[in-house]
Structure formats: structure tokens, C-alpha cells
Amino acid sequence: MSERAAKLAPAGAALVLAAALAVVIITTTPWHLIDLPKPDAALDFSAAEIDKQNQFRHELLPWSTVSWVLSLLVPLTIGFSPLGRRLYAVTRIRRWYLAVPVVVLALGLIASLITLPTDAMAERVTRKYGLSTEAWDLWLRDRLVNWLLLSLALVAISLGLIALAKRWKTWWWAPAAIACAVLVLGVSFAYPVIVEPRFNDFTSMPAGAQRDEFIQLAKQDGVPIKDVLVADASKRTTTLNAYVSGFGSTRRLVVYDTLLKDATPAQVRLVVAHELGHAAEDDVLHGTLVGALGSAFAIVLLRLLLGARVSDPRGTALLLALIVAGTTLASPVQNLVSRRIEARADYHSLQLTKDPTDFVEMQHELSVKNISGLEPSRWRYWLFANHPTPPERIAMGRAWAAEHGETVPPLVEK
């Protein structure tokens, strides 16, 4: 193939992948489900509940925001400055495939240590408000495990990219894009059985009326599930939650033990119906496929930005900095899509249970228990919110009720 074609191929691939990604996101995201009334927290949350949420955010957000900023500044500052190459030189390891893992682990460790004080202060706030029940040694252990898992993933990516770039100076990006997409698929499939057990123990829900109800609800919904798992979340938190992860043979419906303990059976049923909505729509598989496509696009962008320089292991810190920058820039789009998918799962829950009154009460109770943000600032909403706000979810319940000739009155009397 000609040199000109070799130069044009990455740009052409980037355009094709970008177009494919845009088409998939635009055509598969549930942009409109039902006309919603304007969300209004004052309709369903008392002044005391709103004040508590505001006070909690006032105390928590300074620490969590500083921690987030530091987690970005550390890799960006090191990666986009001579410090990155100096860090590689400090290792004094001749074999690049041994030096690269050391650099990756060191960068992650530096970032973790620098954010440790602000993360600890944020943890103190969650303890003060009764959301965290985690012992400090378990909290530190979780941070260590998270650092190791993330570092191992970045080590694998860095080694793979550098090795391919050394092997194929011009066309390394093509096999790298394919490999990265396959890696995303593999991680999503294996996550429930490899990563999740590192943080929680899972047991099958004991036989009984509630378990039978969940299995029957899944059958009614056309979603095959072999088991319902209970996570021992109470050793870390008092928040109430459930989720679906994995796909195919690793797909699992998981409920927190806190949810089973503190929510009413009707509320738990609605939460499970929401998670069944994710399974019915294959949201995990869909997100994985979009992620695979997005990762392939990111690899081609790396080729356009760095060219053959990816083969130089001394640029490992720069490579990591670009990964951090890319994931941060992509988060608003990811969160936008996630909010719409979560809204569809809410709608599915209403369609399956036909219980808008309990749905509204459930959203209120979960929000109060979890001290969820009711009206986040616009920039926080776009950058961090991957679920609709509680008032938006309650508006969904009222809209569904109105569409079916029902009325759900405000929970707060005026």
C-alpha cells in the first residue's frame, strides 16, 4: 500500500468510527418516552429533607471536587510535561516491558496518595450523615484493590499498544483498535465474576415468597434469570440499591441487603422491575458494544495525535494522560445516554408493575435514605449525573399515571 494511503487511512478510519458511534448513539438512545411535567422537588420533599440534602452536599462537594480535580491534574501534569520521561528514566530498568508497568503503577500510586486526604475527608462526611458503615481498614483495602485493578488494566493497554507500535510502525492502530474493542467486551463479560467478588460477597436470595415473586416478575417480563443474588453492601453503606451486570451466562440481578432490610416489599418490587428493564433491553450488552466502538475510535485518535511515537515507552505517562483526558471529555455524552437509559428502565418498571403511587413514594424514600442530590448545578449534572434526579424520576411516575387516567398527589401538603 502506498505511503499516501497509509497516511490517509487513520483519518478515514476515525471518520468512519466517529460516524458509526454517532449513528448508534442517536438511533438507539431512548430520547423521548413520555411528556414530563416540570420537576419540582418542593412537591414531594419537605423543607427539612431539602435542607439536609443541601447541607450534606455543602459539606461533601468541596472535598469530592478537589479530589476529582487532583485525580485529573496529577496524570495530566506529569504526562504533558518532562516529568513523564523523567519518571521513566528514574526506574533505571533497561527492558521497556518491565519499566512500563512500574511507571503505570507509580502514576496510579502517586495520584492515590495525593487524593488520599481529600477522599478521607469526604468519607468522614458520609460517615457523619450515616451513609457509610465501612471500617477504615476496609476503606483503605478497597482503595488498594481499586488501584491494583485499574493499574493492571492500564498496564495491559500500555504494553499492548507499545508492543504493536514497535511491531508495525505504520499500521499498529488497526490491530490495536480491534484488540481494544475485544478487551472491552471481555471485561464486561467477566466483570461480575472477577471484579465484583473483590468488593462484595454474593449469596442466593433464600427461598420464599419474595424470591418467588421476583422470579415470576422476570418470567412475566420475558427476562430469563436463574437466580437473584444478595450483596452484603451493609458492611460498607446504608444506601439502598440494586443492579444488573454482565450479559449472557454472566448476567446477574443483584440486590443490596440494605434494600431488602429497609424498603417495603412494594418498593423492592419496583426496584427489581427497574433492573429487569435493563435486562429486557440488553442495556449492559448495548453499553458494552458502544464502549467497544468508542475504544476503537480512541485508539485511532491516539494514532492521529501521536503517530509512531506510541512505540516509545518513555512516553508512557503521556499515553496515560491522553487516556485520562479522553475519558473525561467523553463523560458528558456517556452520562447523557446513561440518564436516558435509566429513564427507560423507570418507564419499564411502571409498565410492568402499573403502580405509579408506590413508584413515586419509592423514589422519594430512596432519595431521602441515600441523601441524593435533588437539584445539582448544571455543570455537575452534565459531568457526573448518570441517573435522572429524584424529582425527574418522580415526574416520570406522575406522567405515567396521568397517561393512564390516574393521579398521584404531591407527597408534601401545602
Query: Could you state, in order of their start, the residue ranges of all structural domains in the chain?
Result: 13-202+260-403
pLDDT in tens, the chain (414 residues): 566 767 789 999 999 999 999 999 999 999 999 999 999 999 999 999 999 999 999 999 999 999 999 999 999 999 999 999 999 999 999 999 999 999 999 999 999 999 999 999 999 999 999 999 999 999 999 999 999 999 999 999 999 999 999 999 889 999 999 999 999 988 888 888 788 888 889 898 888 888 888 888 888 888 877 778 899 999 999 998 888 877 766 677 889 999 999 888 889 999 999 999 998 898 988 999 999 999 999 999 999 999 889 999 999 999 999 999 999 999 999 999 999 999 999 999 999 999 999 999 999 999 999 999 999 999 999 999 999 999 999 999 999 999 999 999 999 875
Count Cβ neighbours within 10 Å for each residue of 15-44 and write b for 16 or more, e otherwise.
Answer: eebeeebeeebeeebeeebeebeebebebb
Strands 202-204 and 252-256: unpaired
| DSSP character string of 364-406 | HHHHHHHT--SS--HHHHHHH--S--HHHHHHHHHHHHHHTT-
Q: 446477574: which residue's cell?
A: 252
Q: Which residues contact 26 (CB under 8 A, 6 or more apart)?
A: none
Q: Which residues contact 278 (CB under 8 A, 6 or more apart)?
A: 244, 284, 341, 345
Q: Which residues contact 294 (CB under 8 A, 6 or more apart)?
A: 21, 330
Amino acid identity at 206: P
The C-alpha atoms of residue 311 and residue 388 are separated, in whole angstroms, by: 42
